[in-house]
Structure 1
């Protein structure tokens, strides 16, 4: 149910980010967006196993009326009576973002951390916060910053550093996640199967950037090394390399 709820919320976020049903270009986010994402994330879970301490007023999409204990990293969310006013201020802060600002990575990192500090809901704040981050990014014209399971520890460490005012690590993490998704999904889709692109744009969990670079150095993968020292290949050539590896495995088994 948790996975299904997150998938439903993700669909809503990317649909609303690209083709919003109602969107004011002067406002990247509204309180309705915040509540809607949490409602999508938590409804299916709540129907099966609601939070044991929740009141009738603390269901999906509704702000908490409980205190939250201090986290292991030392951060303690604000007291619950402050949540409505702090969320109004948070939304107003989001709507001052300038996407072309040289400080944008740190600014979006602070926005993300501040949401986690407010912790407006009784449960599901992490999932809601990450989806809100992506809704903001998409509405600002950026690719989403997808955080994969194997990067979770690094993400949490960066978030803990942001809790003490160091937003650089979290900003860099978010920026790298945006670039990774740009290379992994958007560049290949735009470039087409024959266009030469950096190896990072062609990497998959099966064929990482390192393994593709090694194959290019060995001559096993068709690729061209530019004057900048960077290898470039195409989806077509990588597919041919993948097929040749599969055939070799089949013949040796």
Structure 2
């Protein structure tokens, strides 16, 4: 729910920026190093409804991975908060994956360049690179769990 996401954001930012923790932004923001301009702050609550719908999607398997990618991308695109959007997007993506029975994934530091490139392509409507990056990380996490279990 919206309250859950706002509470999660508050937990992420409570010691970093307590004034803005758990509250949607009330100003226009810009993403450093990106040509993308996040939507106007007044539209954030309405736009976030798509994220909440996707978080509550019950699909499994590949469809769940696609849904998790959508949750992540839409949170980053909407940029609902002054700070902590990337951290929140990754947490929400993992929440969606875990609800579908997948282990959480970690976008590794060495994947950062590929990650930002995939986000830019998604801004242009090409979601495959981002989906492939996340799917690869899901596969790595599953293999890690399988190795630990055997």
When the two structures are superposed, what TM-score results if normalisation uses the length of structure 2?
0.89
Distance 1:77 1:88, change over 3 A: same
Give the drift of 1:73: 3.1
Is the contact between residue 162 and residue 170 of structure 1 (CA under 8 Å) also seen in structure 2?
A: yes
Distance 1:103 1:136, change over 3 A: closer
Distance 1:97 1:74, change over 3 A: farther
Is the contact between residue 62 and residue 121 of structure 1 (CA under 8 Å) also seen in structure 2?
A: yes
Give the drift of 1:67: 0.4
Greater gyration radius: 1
Unaligned runs of 5+ in 1: 1-29, 48-55, 192-253
Instruction: Tell me whether 1:46 sits opposite 2:24 in the alignment.
Output: no
Instruction: Tell me whether 1:131 sits opposite 2:91 in the alignment.
Output: yes
Cα RMSD for the two superposed structures: 1.8
Is the contact between residue 97 and residue 107 of structure 1 (CA under 8 Å) also seen in structure 2?
A: no
- Quote the residue 1:217 is aligned against: none
Please give the per-residue CA displacement for 1:145-169, whole angstroms capped at 9, x wherever unaligned: 2111111111111111111111111
User: What is the CA–CA distance in structure 2 between the aligned matches of 1:146 and 1:182, rounded to whole Å?
Assistant: 12
Q: Give the length in aligned residue pairs.
A: 150
Q: How does 1:1-253 map to 2 (within 5 A)?
A: 30-46=1-17, 59-69=20-30, 71-96=32-57, 98-100=59-61, 102-184=62-144, 186-191=145-150
The answer to which structure has the higher helix fraction is: 2
Unaligned runs of 5+ in 2: none
